[in-house]
Chain A
Amino acid sequence: MPSHPKAALDFSPVGTEREVQTLSRPSLSYWQDAWLRLKANRRALVSLFLVIGLLLFTLVGPWLWQVNPASQDLDQVSQPPGVDRSALVVDPYTPWLGGATAGTGLRLAEPATTQSVRLAWDALPSARGHRVYRNLFPVGPELAYGIPRAEFFDNSTLTFEDRLDIKPGTYYYTIVALNADGSLSRETSALTVDVQRVTTVAEARERGLVANEAALVPGDRVELALHPLGTDYLGRDMLARLMAGARVSLFIGIGAPLCFVLFGVFFGSVAGFIGGKTDQVMMRFADFVVALPFLLFMILFKIAFGIGPGESGVMPMLVALVLLMWPATARLVRGQILQIREQGYISASQLLGAKTHYLILRHMLPNTLGVVLVTLTFAIPSAIFTEAFLSFIGMGVAPPTPSWGSMSNEGIKTMLTTPHELIFPAALISTTVLAFNLLGDGLRDALDARMRNRE
């Protein structure tokens, strides 16, 4: 038996005025509770900020970075970000007359610039002529010399000036000796050439590269236009294009879902509320629309609206998306309405005298809002993907209108040499899609206990 010091126990009765019920936590409204849950979900919060950031990027960005996405900076084509963009100012180009140069073997007559690369060489031992090749990559064992630049069928010419599309960077020149019959022999001589960017005073003035134009003299250094994210294959600023593309992608990506969700809510609530035969017919129609092969009909609609491939079709794409995607929302909303109709609080409300429109506005719609909001948040990445996909195969927006999908399409073509042209639009698509997906998850956890994912 436990041994209590009995003297220490207080057996005096407690009075009857006691606080029997104490509320431990304050009551919250539905939306307050949802907001608290959402805030507690770290992933959803991060996605929310990402989404807000993206919207700012799209709407406010062009004000902060006022570069025309269509203007071409031909001096900086396909430049990755962070590349050195300084240029030396020099005198305008004057033709080279060849002539003797110091040194032996394959060499540069003078420092290579984007104006010209001037090579000189000594005749190779068994050569009856020479061919000059230029390559972007070092020549490996497979002897891929690159593009032929010039050919000389005797040894009288031992100089060459290359002016073809010279970009700043490194080129690999190779001289191959020719045999008597003009075929290539095995004798070669190679040279690695680093080309420096130069510009003239006139050009600098033309492009507005300097503030104080009068003081510009050869020998100065100027900075070419800044492109924080680099340029694409036509010299257009990537950042500006991404912002413009964001507008297109998000316009379709958010606009279309808003429209078809709205229509779906209307259609579904009417069907669910009226019920009976009308409901059956409406839902059968929705089933048919669902059965249409989606991508095929997107393309069909584009053609039907009279837009051929190669023309930009933002509005038709939006309309097509809306026409094809509303059934899922409609079915969802209808299901919700059917469920809600049977609930006790609807009958109770009716017994208290509520009119139909009050029931719909005050009871039914707010209870479907959660589902609708979640559907919307998941429909957006789906629409963005679809737009990107269609633009990628050339069935969506077409050049020059930028969209992230068409930019990815262009970027894939030069994926190996200039990966940044693919990485930036693809990364933006991925981030946007991911953010909306995670946000949708978070909203679903916050708003609807039944749909809650048991993470």
Chain B
Amino acid sequence: MTQATGDLLTVENLNVEFDTHGGIVQAVRGVDFSVAAGETLAIVGESGCGKSVTVQSMMGLIPMPPGRITQGSARLRGQEILGQSRIDGREIRGAQIGMIFQDPMTALNPTMTIGDQIAEPLQVHKGMSRAEAAREAIRLLEVTRIPEAATRAKQYPFEFSGGMLQRAMIAMAIACKPEILIADEPTTALDVTIQAQILDLLQDLQRETGMAIVLITHDLGVVARMADSVAVMYAGKVVERGSVDDIFYRSAHPYTLGLKAAMPSNDPTLKQSLQPIEGSPPDLFSPPPGCGYAPRCPHAMKVCQQQQPPEASLSSAETNRPHGSHCWLHEADSPFKPAELHFIENDSAVEQGAAS
């Protein structure tokens, strides 16, 4: 599958592993995704599937003695950023890509005021003076809807609530107007009402600044609300990717189906028990030779246990959000096609895909 041109950020075949006391853990085993300017990509998966490690290694935040990028590339506007700290004469982190993290209570320096922490990237990347940066910090706090911004800027993290801290982190991350904002489970540690506010804020900021957002989450509800395109990850690989409509209405991978089925419904007329996916993810110390989801997949075939499936292209036309799925069920010779899965309409498209 080719990448659409004009993508802002493209990640190809990223592999990351860690040396631990128990052996080598292969946390990320060949991940591809891309983000276009101004749009939101959601990376979805359960705990331990490697979504955080993927973005953090891309940003160079994984300590490289125990961690290692063994293969792959990540390109911003066509230029490689793995192992680099600057491109186009500017710092990548902070100035071109901003990042916010899951737990705002521990992600901020407890001994520095919020205002100082927001002013830091302004001073370093934009060369502002202390006074200028302080003023801009207050303005940013107002943009992220923190009341009494001037007073708040002089306070310390322990005086803020969780939701306000997350807003402060967002202010800090967008201070230098980056083109991409990576949000690593930004609302997981917050309660639901605050969650909604934060997500709204992110969408508003995106509309105003035109920045792209990479949103990592395990909550399909958040995906439905925020995402333009989605990448579903399992056991260190992207198993399905496409536009948000593709993923929700034309799911092409059993895991995606399983996730959707596990979502609790708020329909009061339904009386059925929750449907979890039985089992747990594979041990990444010795990943299975075949598809990682095979042990839990209701449609597994022998080949699934033996070899990793290639990516089957499901887009009928050239689109900038191609729909792909790593599943053997899409190969022409598979004996059955489960009804609830989406397959390509006509065989000719498959042949076309197979030949290219």
Are A13 and B300 also in contact (CB < 8 A) when A1-B310, A1-B353, A18-B295 are? yes
Query: In the complex, what's the smallest C-beta–C-beta distance from A140 to chain B, in angstroms?
Result: 58
Query: In the complex, what's the smallest C-beta–C-beta distance from A363 to chain B, in angstroms?
Result: 28
Report A-chain residues with C-beta under 8 Å of the C-beta of B306.
10
Tell me if A14 counts as interface (CB < 8 A to partner B).
yes
Q: Which stretch, B52-60, B147-155, B331-339, touches the partner chain A?
A: B331-339
A11 touches B334 (CB 8 A): yes
**Per-residue contact bits, chain A 10-36, to B (CB 8 Å; 1 contact, 0 not):** 111110101011001000000000000
B302 touches A14 (CB 8 A): yes
Report B-chain residues with C-beta under 8 Å of the C-beta of A2.
310
User: Whole-angstrom distance between the alpha carbons of A6 and B334 in the complex?
Assistant: 10
Query: In the complex, what's the smallest C-beta–C-beta distance from B20 to chain A, in angstroms?
Result: 14
B295 touches A6 (CB 8 A): no
Q: Which stretch, B113-121, B169-177, B221-229, B278-286, touches the partner chain A?
A: B278-286
**Per-residue contact bits, chain B 278-309, to A (CB 8 Å; 1 contact, 0 not):** 11100100000000001110111111111100
Report A-chain residues with C-beta under 8 Å of the C-beta of B354.
1
B302 touches A12 (CB 8 A): yes
Tell me if A9 counts as interface (CB < 8 A to partner B).
yes
B331 touches A13 (CB 8 A): no
- Contact partner, A1, options B278, B295, B356, Cβ 8 Å: B356
A14 touches B279 (CB 8 A): no
**Per-residue contact bits, chain B 127-167, to A (CB 8 Å; 1 contact, 0 not):** 00000000000000000000000000000000000000000
Report A-chain residues with C-beta under 8 Å of the C-beta of B302.
10-14
Report A-chain residues with C-beta under 8 Å of the C-beta of B310.
1-2, 4
Are A6 and B300 also in contact (CB < 8 A) when A1-B310, A1-B356, A14-B305 are? no
A12 touches B295 (CB 8 A): no
User: Whole-angstrom distance between the alpha carbons of A14 and B301 in the complex?
Assistant: 5
Tell me if B18 counts as interface (CB < 8 A to partner A).
no
Tell me if B61 counts as interface (CB < 8 A to partner A).
no
A20 touches B333 (CB 8 A): no
Report B-chain residues with C-beta under 8 Å of the C-beta of A4.
307, 310, 331
Are A13 and B279 also in contact (CB < 8 A) when A1-B310, A2-B310, A20-B295 are? no
Report B-chain residues with C-beta under 8 Å of the C-beta of A21.
279-280
Tell me if B33 counts as interface (CB < 8 A to partner A).
no
Query: In the complex, what's the smallest C-beta–C-beta distance from B327 to chain A, in angstroms?
Result: 12
Report A-chain residues with C-beta under 8 Å of the C-beta of B343.
none
Are A11 and B300 also in contact (CB < 8 A) when A1-B353, A1-B356, A18-B295 are? no
Tell me if B355 counts as interface (CB < 8 A to partner A).
yes
Report B-chain residues with C-beta under 8 Å of the C-beta of A20.
278-279, 295-296
**Per-residue contact bits, chain B 322-333, to A (CB 8 Å; 1 contact, 0 not):** 000000100111
The residue of chain A having its C-beta at the shortest distance from the C-beta of B299 within the complex is: A13
B333 touches A9 (CB 8 A): yes
Query: In the complex, what's the smallest C-beta–C-beta distance from B194 to chain A, in angstroms?
Result: 24
Query: In the complex, what's the smallest C-beta–C-beta distance from A128 to chain B, in angstroms?
Result: 84
A-B contact count (CB 8 A): 53
User: Whole-angstrom distance between the alpha carbons of A242 and B356 in the complex?
Assistant: 86
B283 touches A24 (CB 8 A): yes
- Contact partner, B335, options A6, A11, A24, Cβ 8 Å: A11
Query: In the complex, what's the smallest C-beta–C-beta distance from B278 to chain A, in angstroms?
Result: 6
Query: In the complex, what's the smallest C-beta–C-beta distance from A37 to chain B, in angstroms?
Result: 11
A13 touches B335 (CB 8 A): yes
User: Whole-angstrom distance between the alpha carbons of A83 and B306 in the complex?
Assistant: 76
Query: In the complex, what's the smallest C-beta–C-beta distance from B293 to chain A, in angstroms?
Result: 12
B305 touches A6 (CB 8 A): no
- Contact partner, A12, options B280, B294, B301, Cβ 8 Å: B301
Query: In the complex, what's the smallest C-beta–C-beta distance from A279 to chain B, in angstroms?
Result: 25
**Per-residue contact bits, chain A 135-171, to B (CB 8 Å; 1 contact, 0 not):** 0000000000000000000000000000000000000
Are A10 and B303 also in contact (CB < 8 A) when A1-B353, A1-B355, A20-B296 are? yes
User: Whole-angstrom distance between the alpha carbons of A2 and B328 in the complex?
Assistant: 12
B303 touches A11 (CB 8 A): yes
Are A11 and B333 also in contact (CB < 8 A) when A1-B310, A2-B310, A20-B295 are? yes
The residue of chain A having its C-beta at the shortest distance from the C-beta of B335 within the complex is: A11
Query: In the complex, what's the smallest C-beta–C-beta distance from A308 to chain B, in angstroms?
Result: 52
The residue of chain B having its C-beta at the shortest distance from the C-beta of A7 within the complex is: B333
Which of A1, A4, A6, A20 is the most central at the interface, judged by chain B CB atoms within 10 Å of its CB?
A1
Report A-chain residues with C-beta under 8 Å of the C-beta of B298.
16
The residue of chain A having its C-beta at the shortest distance from the C-beta of B310 within the complex is: A2
B301 touches A11 (CB 8 A): yes
The residue of chain A having its C-beta at the shortest distance from the C-beta of B305 within the complex is: A14
Query: In the complex, what's the smallest C-beta–C-beta distance from A449 to chain B, in angstroms?
Result: 14
User: Whole-angstrom distance between the alpha carbons of A10 and B306 in the complex?
Assistant: 9
The residue of chain A having its C-beta at the shortest distance from the C-beta of B312 within the complex is: A1
Report A-chain residues with C-beta under 8 Å of the C-beta of B304.
14
Query: In the complex, what's the smallest C-beta–C-beta distance from B283 to chain A, in angstroms?
Result: 6
The residue of chain A having its C-beta at the shortest distance from the C-beta of B280 within the complex is: A21
Report A-chain residues with C-beta under 8 Å of the C-beta of B353.
1
Report A-chain residues with C-beta under 8 Å of the C-beta of B334.
11
User: Whole-angstrom distance between the alpha carbons of A20 and B282 in the complex?
Assistant: 10
User: Whole-angstrom distance between the alpha carbons of A24 and B300 in the complex?
Assistant: 23
The 9 A-B pairs with the shortest beta carbon distances in the complex, nearest first, are A20-B279, A10-B302, A2-B310, A9-B303, A14-B300, A11-B301, A11-B334, A10-B303, A1-B354
- B residues bordering A, Cβ < 8 Å? 278-280, 283, 294-296, 298-307, 310, 328, 331-336, 353-356
A-B contact pairs, 28 of them (CB 8 A): A1-B310, A1-B356, A2-B310, A4-B307, A6-B332, A9-B303, A9-B328, A9-B331, A10-B302, A10-B303, A11-B301, A11-B331, A11-B333, A11-B335, A12-B301, A12-B302, A12-B335, A13-B300, A13-B301, A13-B302, A14-B300, A14-B301, A14-B305, A16-B298, A18-B295, A20-B278, A20-B279, A24-B283
Given contacts A9-B328, A13-B336, 18 further A-B contacts (CB under 8 A): A1-B354, A4-B307, A4-B331, A6-B332, A9-B303, A9-B331, A9-B333, A10-B302, A12-B301, A12-B335, A13-B300, A13-B301, A13-B302, A14-B302, A20-B278, A20-B279, A20-B295, A21-B280
